[in-house]
Amino acid sequence: MHSLNQEIKAFSRNNLRKQCTRVTTLTGKKIIETWKDARIHVVEEVEPSSGGSCGYVQDLSLDLHVGVIKPWLLLGSQDAAHDLDILKKHKDGVVFVHCNAGVSRAAAIVIGFLMNSEEISFTSAFTLVKNARPSICPNTGFMQQLRTYQEGKQRNECDNIQELEKGDSS
């Protein structure tokens, strides 16, 4: 068995695989980068398509997945909200929460709702929603707000217990 010291001494850059990275810049320009002589080199450059840049990589495919959180609570994107055939598959009396992509805003609302109505932790609510709609990814601000909400709920529970204990002792 070789020692780490022997492996380090035997290291050679020539043994590394050549690597390239496909990048779409914020302006929409598509480039392929590679490393040569410890410097980045642009291998290929393609001008963005006409119509201007959106500042992010567009995904024009429809997202018709509807996550069933509870039999009466659904989560999805605006694509699903606009598709009547998909909506008709679900019986009357259900709530369909959606936003543009059904990934951040709507997911955060559903997680917060479950924490409140089902009296479950942030982790449990997040897991429940993530299992029903794997693409969720609430932004960091929403995640922090949900954690702060949980901390506030826990403080209130502690205060209520202390009040009950004071009432019992008097």
Q: Please write the tens of the pLDDT for every residue from 1-58.
A: 567 777 778 877 777 777 777 777 767 777 777 777 667 777 666 555 554 444 455 6
- Among residues of the chain, what percentage have pLDDT more than 90? 42
Question: Which residues of the chain form CATH 3.90.190.10?
Answer: 67-159
CA distance 166 to 153: 20
- Among residues of the chain, what percentage have pLDDT more than 70? 83
Give the residue numbers annotated as catalytic, written as ranges.
99
Average pLDDT over residues 69-90: 91
The answer as to CATH 3.40.50.1220 being correct for domain 67-159 is no
Instruction: Write down the residue that tokens 């002792």 correspond to.
Output: 169
Average pLDDT over residues 93-114: 93
Q: How confident is the model at residue 158 (pLDDT cuts 50, 70, 90)?
A: confident
Radius of gyration of the chain from Cα atoms? 25
Q: What is the pLDDT of residue 45?
A: 64
* 120 vs 57, higher pLDDT: 120
Q: How confident is the model at residue 61 (pLDDT cuts 50, 70, 90)?
A: confident
* H/E stretch holding 6: helix 4-10
CA distance 28 to 128: 36
Q: What is the pLDDT of residue 38?
A: 67
Q: What is the pLDDT of residue 30?
A: 78
Report yes or no: 41 and 34 within 8 Å, Cβ to Cβ.
yes
- 74, pLDDT greater than 50: yes
* 131 vs 45, higher pLDDT: 131
**Terminal-to-terminal C-alpha distance of the chain:** 73
